[in-house]
Amino acid sequence: MQLIRTQKFRDRDVTDEAIYLSRRQIIGGAAAGLGLAGLAGPAQAAPEGLEPNAYEDIIGYNNYYEFGTSKSDPAKHAHSLTTKPWSVKIDGMVDRPGDYGLEDILAAATIEERIYRHRCVEAWSMVIPWNGFTLSSLLDRVGVQSGAKYVAFETIARPEEMPGLRFPVLNWPYREGLRLDEAMHPLTILANGIYGKDILNQNGAPLRLVVPWKYGFKGIKSIVRITLQDKEPFTSWNDANRREYGFYSNVNPQVDHPRWSQETERVIGAGLFGSRRQTDMFNGYGDEVASLYAGMDLKKQF
């Protein structure tokens, strides 16, 4: 996992976009060593580097339905969300439940840079240089009890600040969930920054989930509650349409969405007419995560 730098992230290490772009070659070289060789399909023929998208793409082309359903709505409207003060309620099957202030969570965290491909279920993708910390480090801190099997997450729902909540597009608040082993996986992070800057509201400030081998909708934004439980959590998209959005939602080019193919993806920021790439099984993270699903029929448990 060469793309992961685990050192403490300090101000002087902040990498701006220009330096990221000039580092392309190095990043490309590292990604080529990621071990895509075990994957089936044409994508394995040409392992490619992860070139982060321009900051403007990342903050201007978003899904955050609490602020509207078009890609430009979040950038236009999300500034109305107040993110200070912020706390996250951590409850359920944990030893130390409570309301944890964001400063307190961040003070105990080791912030890392993670450059991940972000694959939306709508068949587009970009590459985002996140700053964040492992979800497992937070869960270890609060003490997961032995009966817990799943983690449920909830986004803030503030109608006065979130105009999209007036429309019953989803059963609000936005909710998501992971199996405990997925939540504890070292690739799973809570992000509080992008390109070394504080994460903006449209991207899920002040704290959002990133699970790089799953479709982007699992990456729930502006989290206010994390609950450890023994039952599979309610998730908003699965509730909205069970046939289209499974609980697992692992990126899988062999399982089409009922209304479109998942074999390829449109690369955001690749010029006026865009370009497409083959979608990788588990979004290219199969070496790290395939074992979590050993023995499962991924066409049935999608």
Q: How far is the CB of 75 from ligand MTE (least distance, A)?
A: 9
The CA distance from 192 to 200, in Å, is: 9
Shortest distance, CB of residue 278 to ligand MTE, whole angstroms?
Answer: 19
Map the footprint of ligand MTE across residues 140-179, applying CB under 6 A.
155, 174
Q: Are 94 and 147 in contact (CB under 8 A)?
A: no
What minimum distance in Å lies between the beta carbon of 93 and ligand MTE?
24
Part of the chain binding ligand MTE (CB under 6 A), chosen from 63-71, 143-151, 250-258, 291-299: 63-71
Among the listed residues 20, 39, 43, 63, the single contact to ligand MTE using CB under 6 A: 63
The single residue among 9, 20, 64, 293 that binds ligand MTE, judged by CB under 6 A, is 64
Describe the strand order of the beta sheet including 87-92 as a list of residue ranges: 98-101, 87-92, 223-229, 150-155, 175-179
* Closer residue to ligand MTE in complex, CB, 27/220: 220
Q: Which is nearer to ligand MTE, 144 or 235 (CB)?
A: 235
- The yes or no reply on residue 221 touching ligand MTE (CB under 6 A) is yes
Stretch that binds ligand MTE, among 29-37, 58-66, 108-116, 227-235 (CB under 6 A): 58-66
- Positions in 14-43 near ligand MTE (CB under 6 A): none
Which of 93/282 has CB closer to ligand MTE? 282
Write down the least CB distance from residue 38 to ligand MTE, Å.
Answer: 26
Kindly indicate which of the ranges 31-39, 59-67, 108-116, 141-149 contains the residues binding ligand MTE, using the contact rule CB under 6 A. Answer: 59-67
Selected binder of ligand MTE within 20, 65, 150, 213 (CB under 6 A): 65
Chain residues that interact with ligand MTE, rule: CB under 6 A: 62-66, 118, 120, 155, 174, 203-204, 216-217, 219-221
